[in-house]
Structure 1
Amino acid sequence: MSTTDNNHAPLVFITGASSGIGQALAARYAQAGWRLALSARRTGEVEAWIRSAGLGPERAQVYGADVAQADSIIAAGHACIERQGLPDCIIANAGISIGMDTAERADLDVMAQIFAINNLGLAATFHPFVAAMRARGSGRLVGIGSVAGIRGLPGHGAYCASKAGVISYCESLRTELHGSGIKVVTICPGYVATPLTEGNRYGMPFLLQPSEFAERAYRVIEAGSSYRVIPWQMGVVAKLLRIVPNGLFDRAVQGRGRKRRLSER
């Protein structure tokens, strides 16, 4: 691809690009010839990955930002527009998953941190781009939810609630932007082998490698689908869980391993 081609290649902005799903998505978009705008707190890791992938500055730029601080990720978005132009696709991928016990005061602070990153951080990621995309009449805003947002699980109160919030927020945003030319895509991963799932104390059916997830997510985003669970098998499981009566569901999840709390790590 020539420099001229690079200058006209589509641009994707991805948060949480230093590892896991975010890095796998970056690799998939690079493979498809897109330019990359990658945001992360650990910029050194992203820069090392860009070098290892053989991507020059015309193909990839890094923006340091803390998604937990709205002004930080907003500033990164504006810097991206100034340096690389208005992206064609925004993927709000950054997120954390930590167990909690409501009886423990310290875990309420953990809950606030999870919401700051997974919810406010997602909205703040989209914020710098919405008006310009609307004026252009095109774009994709991709929110990474989770199957965990479909039904609450013991010990996962903060994470499940945050991902339920992602699903509802993206649905609201989709209806607000209807007819604008902007597609809002909600993707709910099942289990993906990333640092986020390392150390889980329970079975993880239909576990995907990050590259497998990224391939499927890329196709969903390109198709402009409004909502998709990946892999589809977990979508079936999620639908079944949603219709199971509460009493049966409550009994079924008793004894299930809980996500490690911050003090247990």
Structure 2
Amino acid sequence: MAGPLVFITGASSGIGQALARRYYDAGWRLALAARRTGEIEQWAQAQRLDAQRYAVYAADVADTDSIVGAGARCIEQQGVPDVVIANAGISIGVDTEERGDIEVIARTFATNNIGLAATFHPFIAGMRRRGSGRLVGIGSVAGIRGLPGHGAYCASKAGVISYCESLRGELRASGVKVVTICPGYIDTPLTRENRYSMPFLMKAEDFADRAFRTIEAGTSYRVIPWQMGVVAKLLRALPNALYDRALAGRPRKHRQKDK
């Protein structure tokens, strides 16, 4: 079928699923990638999606060959996407004193950073030749300042922000735009496990609508909701001593052993 195509990783739940629904409602074709393909199929059937307008690709973004292969299959079966959203990510608390958590840090970087670059990789050449396309990296407000007990996630999302900025400069003259979106607190299965307050908590559907409009506009960087962008800038401006004092005693993210 004709129509623009969006490729979304982490499409089996949360933000990825909400984005898939928003793009589908706007008339787009979907290329949905995730490890849990059965959950995508169940969701698509429950949503009564037209089977001719979507395809599902099994992929683990932490495995470079797996996600690159999924991208290649997408190009073969559906063509070069107009938008690629590297949404898949993990968030697990860590304690660097604990030896086992070093593996958690490595897995987080493999998923959130290398997996993001590997998601984009198969599509860049085709987008360059066409002279158009949007590569969307899902960062986080957590990438703006470090949070105690959350070092792996914060560092990985800071990496997403910097990597996308670098890629944007590399592709500036190609017609391919790079969009960085930093969600605040979004109501998803991932955030429902948090043990701390989540100001300006947003429904996934509302986030998806704002993200869709941001991507369509080709905006280079945006925090959603905007209120969290203001909070992040204020926190960034705080002297370290005040910032550390403000976060003293804050509940920490669940570690792997706590799950």
TM-score by length of 1: 0.97
1:127 to 121, 131, 134: 121
2:186 to 165, 186, 192: 192
Whole-Å Cα distance in 1 between the matches of residues 92 and 255 of structure 2? 6
Q: Please report how far the alpha carbon of residue 50 of structure 1 lies from its aligned counterpart in structure 2 after TM superposition.
A: 1.2
Q: Please report how far the alpha carbon of residue 115 of structure 1 lies from its aligned counterpart in structure 2 after TM superposition.
A: 0.3
Q: Please report how far the alpha carbon of residue 49 of structure 1 lies from its aligned counterpart in structure 2 after TM superposition.
A: 1.1
User: For residue 29 of structure 2, what is the amino acid of its counterpart?
Assistant: R
Is 1:12 the equivalent of 2:6?
yes
Q: Where does structure 1 differ by over 4 angstroms across 4 or more consecutive aligned residues?
A: none
Whole-Å Cα distance in 1 between the matches of residues 191 and 43 of structure 2? 21
User: For residue 158 of structure 1, what is the amino acid of its counterpart?
Assistant: A
Q: Please report how far the alpha carbon of residue 31 of structure 1 lies from its aligned counterpart in structure 2 after TM superposition.
A: 0.3
Q: Please report how far the alpha carbon of residue 215 of structure 1 lies from its aligned counterpart in structure 2 after TM superposition.
A: 0.5
Is 1:256 the equivalent of 2:250?
yes
Whole-Å Cα distance in 2 between the matches of residues 209 and 95 of structure 1? 18
Whole-Å Cα distance in 1 between the matches of residues 233 and 137 of structure 2? 20
Q: Please report how far the alpha carbon of residue 135 of structure 1 lies from its aligned counterpart in structure 2 after TM superposition.
A: 0.8
1:4 alignment counterpart: none
Structure 1 stretches of 5 or more lacking a match?
A: 1-6
User: For residue 61 of structure 2, what is the amino acid of its counterpart?
Assistant: V
Is 1:179 the equivalent of 2:168?
no
Whole-Å Cα distance in 1 between the matches of residues 158 and 50 of structure 2? 38
- Secondary structure of residue in 1 paired with 2:165: helix
Q: How many percent identity over aligned positions?
A: 72
2:219 alignment counterpart: 225
Is 1:109 the equivalent of 2:103?
yes
1:1-265 to 2 correspondences below 5 Å: 7-265=1-259
- Secondary structure of residue in 1 paired with 2:33: strand
Whole-Å Cα distance in 2 between the matches of residues 58 and 73 of structure 1? 22
- Secondary structure of residue in 1 paired with 2:209: helix
Deviations 1:198-229 (A, max 9, x none): 22111000000110100110010000000000
Deviations 1:57-108 (A, max 9, x none): 3200000001110110000000000001110000000000000000000000
Whole-Å Cα distance in 2 between the matches of residues 56 and 208 of structure 1? 28
Deviations 1:2-55 (A, max 9, x none): xxxxx2200000000000000000000000000000000000000111112222
Whole-Å Cα distance in 2 between the matches of residues 199 and 44 of structure 1? 23
Whole-Å Cα distance in 1 between the matches of residues 208 and 150 of structure 2? 25
Structure 2 stretches of 5 or more lacking a match?
A: none
Q: Please report how far the alpha carbon of residue 56 of structure 1 lies from its aligned counterpart in structure 2 after TM superposition.
A: 2.7
Over the residues paired in the alignment, what is the CA RMSD in angstroms? 0.6
- Secondary structure of residue in 1 paired with 2:95: coil
Query: How many residue pairs are counted as aligned between the two chains?
Result: 259
Deviations 1:169-195 (A, max 9, x none): 000000000011001000000000111
- Secondary structure of residue in 2 paired with 1:171: helix
